[in-house]
Chain A
């Protein structure tokens, strides 16, 4: 494994070193450098410290493990690969991601999974262990978002207006009850056995990543949120 001391490096120099360093890389003393691994594929990065915004943006394969928190736009427009964050993530985590996985042990900010998509075999996944802020899965067009609410004292571990404009994909919330302000584009129900079977592998992977017991997740119900329509706004217009 190649070690890179990020101390005193700006983001451009750091990314150049990552490109030059080969596949297995440990970044130490990371202190807010943005765009780490932007557009890269096939690197296996371990980050000690706190990466800056847009970690793994346009990521096209490989893995990133963060031993700490990440900031905003983690995995922005990511195409494939895996990002695992031991701490929490900021706003717009997984913005518009089309493939790959983002696993966050702690909480995540506002607009998580906004405009997430899917395309053929590319089925993106975000799992947040704790809570998320408002506008979770806004305009979601595909993929799966799971919010587990571990340690959350709220009845639903999400903020306001979850799923506004949703027109594809699914959201799973481990919650006492559904958020009170679900928008009309969302149809929600308790997850069936079939639904749970669909995410079983995802939960398995999440628990394995953070050495947790999967069974402990089933003491609260799971709800599944789906779009009411793939064309939510088709009646908005009249041709002139």
Chain B
């Protein structure tokens, strides 16, 4: 029906002077944008199928292709944007909830960009990380309330609660096998091992080939309990209870049957082709006391050897919720902000539910300190960390470490086309199609992840050195190292920082 014609978001420009009709673009595009016209001997394109993943552009040997914003437009309207109108057409046609992926792309405030980092001048001189020791190692887990000593005066360490040891305060955030490919998972696992940090299985279980990365793996337990069994719990270095996710707070997950291939079925331990439904709530958790029960059931099942992480989405009452979690027996709280990515989430939820991680983090850290329970837990923050400066700001606001996922995927080749939900990722990341998965070479992928995190580690050390700080410990919650620009009183108050110039 003509009414359903949606203006393609992007236009495919092909320079006929450069195009040699080699058909690489056609072979590379799982969305079938490009085709060869034998009559004219030229390439054609159907831009309505283009998601702007740039695969064809990157592989075109003669640089003949450009993907540009389509200038075709509905009548301009400052209130009714093109998306607003197109989405209505789509829903009027199908009756379906709109489904999107990756993080919230809307122009909400980005507090990271309104926070500036301090540096030393003259007094308390800066430290040169190239020639002086600089500690980026950190430990996640419950810390004892007081130092206990052995009779000989040495510090007692044998009764410490279990800790995760990170060489750099960056972990790879939860992404399930199913939502991302085998090769993507392998890249993350190998990189985590090499970097001395951790990756996270998400709620999709652990592939049999990846048990060997167990010491660098966080295994997740979510409401659907997919792939959760004794060996899985034993395999991980830590267990994460997923309560919520920044991209879709308050709702569950739903991996469609089409994505439950043989291998995904083995890992999730469900039959091939059936939907994998993760209900919105855990059906045994209605209170902090119930959460405590799940925490302790996991501790009992693994004999108190592993820290338990509870992951929640950053929502309005996050400080009070975190306070409850810190009393539940959990060792680590992970908070996922509203920019956090996803393989699929209802558009309206992704774009309208949750709060910025910067504010959530500041509020949680402050609340836990006020209640004198901050050392009960470590804090990992997630959801929109874009670079090493965001990491430094997060730690200075009170985080112990950060989770990254979107930057890791970008390092692997993701171009943020935000169409993971259709399962045809041309970069071999968010797909289970074997011909696409093999495009991501894990031997290259893990090195790119290592490069990224090592580069960030060096930058973090430079910034720390500039501040005259030589350990993550000394930077954590050190809000005096931060100043706000262009923030109002309330925002400064919540962030617990002064305005620049103060």
Contacts and interface: CB of A to CB of B under 8 A. Distances in A.
B293 A34 contact: yes
B274 A11 contact: no
Contacts of A167: 274-275, 277
A60 B229 contact: yes
Contacts of B271: 118-119, 142, 168, 230
B interface residue count range (under 10 / 10 to 19 / 20 to 34 / 35 or more) = 35 or more
B431 to A, nearest CB: 14
B454 interface: no
Contacts of B94: 238
Nearest to A168: B274
A58 B274 contact: no
A236 B275 contact: no
B329 to A, nearest CB: 11
B96 A237 contact: yes
A240 B277 contact: no
A35 B279 contact: no
B269 interface: yes
Interface in B240-272: 254, 256-257, 269-271
A148 B252 CA distance: 32
Interface stretch (B110-118, B170-178, B296-304, B359-367): B296-304
A35 B277 contact: no
B228 interface: yes
A98 interface: yes
A92 interface: yes
Given A237-B99, A238-B91, A230 B297 contact: no
B486 interface: no
Nearest to A119: B269
Contacts of A77: 225, 228-229
A111 B283 contact: yes
B87 interface: yes
Nearest to B254: A233
Contacts of B256: 231, 234
Given A117-B270, A167-B274, A233-B254, A139 B419 contact: no
Contacts of A34: 293, 296-297, 300
Contacts of A54: 293, 297
Interface string A34-65: 11001101000000000001100110100000
B97 interface: yes
Interface in B69-91: 87, 90-91
A229 to B, nearest CB: 9
A118 B96 CA distance: 30
Nearest to B350: A240
B106 interface: no
B86 to A, nearest CB: 9
A79 interface: yes
A234 B96 CA distance: 10
A163 interface: no
A124 to B, nearest CB: 11
B97 A230 contact: no
Contacts of B270: 117-119, 141-142, 168
A119 to B, nearest CB: 4
B98 interface: yes
Q: What 3 A-B pairs have minimum CB-CB distances, sorted nearest first?
A: A39-B301, A238-B96, A38-B300
Given A98-B225, A122-B269, 17 more contacts: A35-B301, A39-B300, A57-B297, A58-B230, A58-B233, A92-B283, A95-B284, A114-B283, A117-B269, A141-B274, A168-B274, A230-B271, A233-B275, A237-B98, A238-B91, A239-B419, A240-B347
Interface of B: 87, 90-91, 93-100, 223-225, 228-230, 233, 254, 256-257, 269-271, 273-275, 277, 279, 283-284, 293, 296-297, 300-304, 346-347, 419, 421-422
